[in-house]
Structure 1
Amino acid sequence: MYRAAQRTIRRNAHHYAPSKYLNESAFPAAKVNKAAGEAFVKEHEAKVAHSKGISDLWKKLTFFVAIPAILLTAIPVTKVELEHAEHRKHQRHMSDEEWPVQYAYQNLRTKPYFWGDGDKTMFWNSDVNRHVQE
């Protein structure tokens, strides 16, 4: 298998490395431009320093602004969600007569769904949703 691979490489070598590029005379000797090289290195170092400064800024913004803002927002939201959970727990034990009035535009069914009992939507939550049929 090794020899077959070598034969394939030799046979197709002209596709990958044409002989005109293998000739050293095709590439004239490059002249070193020391000023351009120093300018490139200086510009690269400036970019590295800038990116380090920017990444430090975003770390500080994350730790000192974003995380405290999220925590300060989470406190009242948690309180409201706990109240909702208590309300849902109470609604779970209510009878159909005590359930809030359903208006004509709620729970419209033109035809039954083809899953389950045909009355519940795909994302039905028995704690929150109830279809009181008269």
Structure 2
Amino acid sequence: MASNLVNVVRRQFSTTLRRKADTSYTAATAPDSHGSTRTYKLMTFFVALPGVAFCMFNAYKGEMEHKAHSHRPEFVAYSHLRIRNKPFFWGEGNRSLFHNSETNALPEGYEGDE
């Protein structure tokens, strides 16, 4: 009796999975599935892009507030910093690739502070 019940449940479970697999395959190709594409497209344009723009504006505003009250540290010529064993292969060889004359010091000091 118990084995018959187990067989019935097992058969029902396996056919249910097959039916669900078949319906999910056909539901993805159904003609009414284009509504979700439109929904996500609208969410991209009206939620995601304005959210990214707001975050960019907020980060820019915070950086400008920080820049307004921050100052450049005084240059100290430590012997273990800014060692140039061979020149960089771009430019005159003393400035790094992303050199910023306001914040990055050269081995002899900041530019324009002589």
**Structure possessing the higher relative contact order (Cα contacts under 8 Å, 6 or more residues apart):** 1
Select the structure of larger CA radius of gyration.
1
